[in-house]
Amino acid sequence: MNSAKKSAGNLVIYPKYMDLIYYSNDIVRKFPKSEQFALVKEIKNSMYTGLRYIMYAIKVFDKQDKLKYLREVDIQLYLLKVHIRLAYKYKYISMQNYQTWNNIISDICNLLGGWINSCLKR
């Protein structure tokens, strides 16, 4: 039962990540058309690649494979932060959007860090 509880705890990241996707998709719809195939594409690519790696990490049993996927999620989140910073710099998003977006990502990063630490302890 204890391992089932740990496993279910890791799934907390999934709904949070889905919230990130919903929020991001709402925001990037407002970007200029000129960015639809550049910055918007990069933002979406980072998000969906990260989601794919979360799903792999949930499904895989080998600890080393799980850590590899979780580190990939971490990289995608870092890239997403860079893209968001660019969007703010180019004034595609407001300060409030920037802060909200970063807060959502920070929450996910904290959950991810906890998941990585739990894998390292086993």
Give the pLDDT of residue 2: 42
Residues 47 and 76 sit within 8 Å (Cβ to Cβ): yes
pLDDT in tens, the chain (122 residues): 344 434 444 589 999 999 999 999 999 999 999 999 999 999 999 999 999 999 999 999 999 999 999 999 999 999 999 999 999 999 999 999 999 999 999 999 999 999 999 999 86
Query: Nearest 5 degrees, angle CA 22-CA 72-CA 30?
Result: 25
| pLDDT value of residue 121 | 86
Q: Rg of the chain's alpha carbons, rounded to an integer?
A: 15
pLDDT for the residue numbered 6: 45
Tokens matching residue 65: 């494979």
* Dihedral (CA of 42, 48, 52, 53) sign: positive
- Rounded CA-CA distance 17/106 in Å is 11
Q: Which domains does the chain have, with CATH numbers?
A: 2-121 (1.20.1440.60)
The helix (H) or strand (E) run that includes residue 62 is: none
pTM, to two decimals: 0.88
